[in-house]
C-alpha cells in the first residue's frame, strides 16, 4: 500500500507538474488480478482498485493499519465500472452490474473480488475510511440510487447523478459516495466550483475514450492548478481545494468524500468569475 502525506496550500502552490502528479494523481489503479491501494493522510482515506480477470482477488490486510484484518476499524464503499462481478464478504455473495454499489461495514473480515466473465471483467473502485460503528453490509443497484438529472446542453454539463452512500441512502459512519454520468456533448463536471473544508474528496474518472483526456482543476480558487488525466485514474482533492474538470469528450466519474460532515449539499461556492 502506497502512503501519501498531506500537502498544504502553500506547498501545493509551488509544485511543478511532476510534483503535483506524484502527490495527488493516482495512476495504474486498475491492474489485472491485483489489488492496488493508496493511503492518504487526508482524513485517512484509502483509495483502491482491482480488475479480477481470471482469478479471485482477496482483500489482504496491510501492516500499516496495525489491525487484525483490513476492516477491523474501517468501512468500505465499492462501485463496479466494468462487467458483471461479485464481492464476497464473510460468506455472502453480492453480484452486481456496472454502476452498482456495495457497502461493507466495520467488522467485515473476509472480502474477495471476482468477475463473472474473464472476457468482460468487472472493474471495482474502492474507498475505505475509518469507522466507529458497524452498519450493515448493503448492495444497491443503480436503479435504486434515485438518479437525478441536472445541467443542460447549453452549458455543456448535462448529467445524471447517482447517490449511493449518504444520509438518505446507504448508512455509513463518514463515507459519502456516488457517481455522475455526463451525456454526449457535455464535458464539464462539478460546476459551479466549490470547496468543503469539512471533508476531503476523491474523484475517479472512467468511460473516457483511450485517446481522450480530462483536465482536472484543483488548488485554491485564487491559486488554481490542473492535472491532465486519462481513463481509470483517480485524483485526491484536499479539503482546502476546489475540484472540477473538463474533458475532451464526455465521461463518467465516481465521487467519494470523507470527513466530519455527510451532507451532500455542504459546499462553499467558488464562483467561476472569481477564479484565477
Cell of 26: 493516482
Residue 73 neighbours by CB under 8 Å, 6+ apart? 65, 67, 106, 130, 131
pLDDT, residue 179, reads: 97
| CATH superfamily, with its number, for domain 2-274 | Jelly Rolls (2.60.120.10)
Strand-pairing partners, residue 233, are 205
Exposure string (b/e) for 208-225, b if CB count within 10 Å is 16 or more? beeeebbebbbbbbeebb
Q: Is the peptide bond before 52 cis (omega within 30 degrees of 0)?
A: no
pLDDT, residue 196, reads: 87
- Chunked in runs of 10, what are the mean pLDDT values of the chain (276 residues)? 95 96 97 97 97 97 96 98 98 97 98 97 98 97 92 95 94 97 95 86 97 96 96 97 95 94 81 90
- Using alpha carbons only, give the angle 55, 165, 189 rounded to the nearest 5 degrees: 90
The helix/strand/coil state of 272 is helix
Report, in angstroms and rounded to the nearest whole number, the Rg of the chain calculated over CA atoms: 18
The helix/strand/coil state of 164 is strand
Q: What is the pTM of this model?
A: 0.96
Distance, CA of 213 to CA of 210 (rounded, Å): 8
Amino acid at each position: 500500500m502506497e502512503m501519501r502525506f498531506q500537502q498544504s496550500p502553500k506547498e501545493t502552490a509551488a509544485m511543478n507538474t511532476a510534483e503535483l502528479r506524484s502527490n495527488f494523481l493516482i495512476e495504474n489503479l486498475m491492474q489485472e488480478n491485483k489489488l492496488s491501494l493508496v493511503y492518504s493522510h487526508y482524513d485517512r482515506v484509502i483509495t483502491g482498485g482491482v480488475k479480477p480477470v481470471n482469478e479471485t482477488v482477496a482483500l489482504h490486510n496491510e501492516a500499516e493499519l496495525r489491525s487484525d484484518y483490513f476492516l477491523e476499524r474501517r468501512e468500505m464503499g465499492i462501485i463496479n465500472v466494468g462487467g458483471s462481478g461479485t464481492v464476497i464478504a464473510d460468506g455472502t455473495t453480492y453480484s452486481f452490474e456496472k454502476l452498482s454499489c456495495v457497502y461493507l461495514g466495520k467488522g467485515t473480515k473476509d472480502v474477495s473480488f471476482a468477475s463473472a466473465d474473464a472476457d468482460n471483467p468487472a472493474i471495482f473502485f474502492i474507498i475505505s475510511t475509518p469507522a466507529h460503528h458497524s452498519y450493515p453490509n448493503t448492495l444497491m443497484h443503480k436503479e435504486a440510487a434515485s438518479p437525478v438529472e441536472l445541467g443542460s446542453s447549453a452549458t455543456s454539463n448535462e448529467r445524471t447523478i447517482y447517490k449511493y452512500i449518504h444520509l438518505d441512502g446507504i448508512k455509513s459512519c463518514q463515507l459519502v459516495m456516488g457517481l455522475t454520468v455526463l451525456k454526449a456533448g457535455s464535458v464539464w463536471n462539478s460546476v459551479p466550483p466549490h470547496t468543503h473544508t469539512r471533508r476531503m474528496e476523491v474523484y475517479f474518472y472512467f468511460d473516457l475514450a483511450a485517446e481522450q483526456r480530462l483536465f482536472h482543476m484543483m488548488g485554491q480558487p485564487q491559486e488554481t492548478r490542473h492535472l491532465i488525466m486519462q481513463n481509470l485514474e483517480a485524483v485526491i482533492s484536499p479539503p482546502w481545494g476546489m475540484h472540477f474538470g473538463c474533458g475532451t469528450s464526455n465521461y463518467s466519474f465516481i465521487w467519494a468524500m470523507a470527513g466530519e460532515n455527510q451532507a451532500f449539499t455542504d459546499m462553499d461556492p467558488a464562483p467561476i468569475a472569481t477564479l484565477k
